[in-house]
Structures are given as structure tokens and as C-alpha cells.
Amino acid sequence: MSDFRRFFVQEIYPQTIVEGEEFFHAVNVLRIKVGEKVLLCDGTGKEYLAEISSIEKRSFTANIIEERLNECEPKEKVTLIAGYLKGDKTELVVQKAVELGVSKIVVFSSKFSSSFINENKLNRLNRVSMEAVKQCGRAIVPKVEYAETLEKALSFGDSCKNKLFACEFAKANEVDFSNLNGSTAIVVGSEGGFSNEEYQLALEKGYKTVYLGRRILRAETAGIALTSIIMHSLGEM
């Protein structure tokens, strides 16, 4: 955990004004004070040490002291493409995946999905991503996006070097984790798993099969476990 509280703003100025949710959290929950040092991030990966100079009713102002290098961002981009889950399980997956270092999360609905997302839920997932970023010290907030079909979800992996598809009914694993490098997309199903047609579609789109062993893992376990394996293979853990 970094030594200073971090706040996200749209843009950095010598005197940066922090407002909205970030301000209310700072004042009501963290009880920040004038003179306190904080880290300001604009979401691009840079962060700035700043000192709070004034606290108003709806905003606080912080004077930039210096730019700092954030060392927590992963070197390779990993995109997690995960089936949308029941209850708040997707929130758990987003939180853990962000801590583990993914750069983007895509949630999708597919043939055997039993839960559907709406705009509020998507906003909530993006807030979970931001909170996880702050907690683990990252400087870029991974965006959570929604794809209404598996086909659209798979296309988020188009530009990735490695495209991996976790299939619970696969016979064997095709991926050599010890030799993995470069950007990577990981696809994991929802509670209902995948149909054979969906698996074939992924293969046609250039995805390689990942088999995680004889035990069928819950969707949230599979997403978190596979993200951990990939991050370890890429030298991030």
C-alpha cells in the first residue's frame, strides 16, 4: 500500500481541484485536512504528490509538489473477458482481477447466462475497479465494458498476442504457461458454462484452449485463478 491516499481527477493543474465523489469520500470518510499530502492521478499512469491547500464545501484544492513514477502498473496488457454472474459475484471478480493487474475487463452474456446487466450495475462495476486501483496502488483504472454477445466479447481479444479460452469440457490444455509473453486475453464463462458451438466459435476466432484440470471450478474461482496463473507467467507475481 502506498504511503499517501490517492485521488483520481480528470486533469492535473499546478493547483488541482478535487470534487464530486472523490471529494466527498476524502472529507466524509478519510477526513482529510489542510496541509495533508495526497497523491493525485489523472488515470494516464502518472501520479503527482500534492499538498492540500484548502477545503471548501464541495471541493478541495491541492498544490502539486512533484510528479512521481507509479511502479505498480503491469508491463503487459491483460484483458479479462468474463461471463456476467449472479448477485455480486462479478464485483468480486472485478476487484480481484484489478488487484492482480488486468488492464481491461469485459463482461458478457452468452447462451447459458442466467443473469443480466444494466447500466447501474455496469457503473457499479466501474466503481469497484476504481476502488481496487486505489487500494492496491495502481495509477490506471481498468475500464469495465459490456458485450451483449460472446462473439462481440471475443473480439476484444483481437489485438492480443495470446488469446485464451477456459473451457470446462476440454480434453486437454493447449497453452504453455511457462513460455507466455505479450498481451493476453482470457475468456471465462458464467455459472452455466459454454455450449459446444460457443467453444467452436472461440477456436475459429483464434483462441487457444485452457483446461484447468479435472475439477470444475466455479466461474469466479476460474476467473481469479486463471488471471493469477497468467500474471505469474508474465512475471508480474
Positions in the binding site for ligand SAH (CB under 6 A)? 166-168, 188-189, 192-194, 210-213, 215-217, 219, 222
Q: Which is nearer to ligand SAH, 132 or 188 (CB)?
A: 188
Q: Which is nearer to ligand SAH, 73 or 174 (CB)?
A: 174
In angstroms, give the least distance from the CB of 135 to ligand SAH: 26
CB 32 within 8 A of CB 62: no
In which element (H, E) is residue 107 found?
A: strand 104-108
Q: Which is nearer to ligand SAH, 27 or 212 (CB)?
A: 212
In angstroms, give the least distance from the CB of 181 to ligand SAH: 22
* CA dihedral of residues 99, 144, 181, 158 (deg, nearest 10): 170
In angstroms, give the least distance from the CB of 57 to ligand SAH: 48
Which three three-digit cell numbers place residue 124?
457499479
Q: What is the DSSP letter of 217?
A: P
d(CA 63, CA 17): 9
Q: Which is nearer to ligand SAH, 59 or 173 (CB)?
A: 173
Residue type at 176 in one-letter notation: D
Q: Which is nearer to ligand SAH, 142 or 193 (CB)?
A: 193
SS3 22: helix
Residue nearest to ligand SAH (CB): 189
Q: Which residues contact 7 (CB under 8 A, 6 or more apart)?
A: 18, 22, 26, 38, 39, 40, 41
Residue 34: other Cβ atoms inside 10 A: 12
In angstroms, give the least distance from the CB of 226 to ligand SAH: 8
In angstroms, give the least distance from the CB of 60 to ligand SAH: 44
* CA dihedral of residues 223, 228, 234, 237 (deg, nearest 10): 160
In angstroms, give the least distance from the CB of 168 to ligand SAH: 4
Q: Which is nearer to ligand SAH, 14 or 213 (CB)?
A: 213
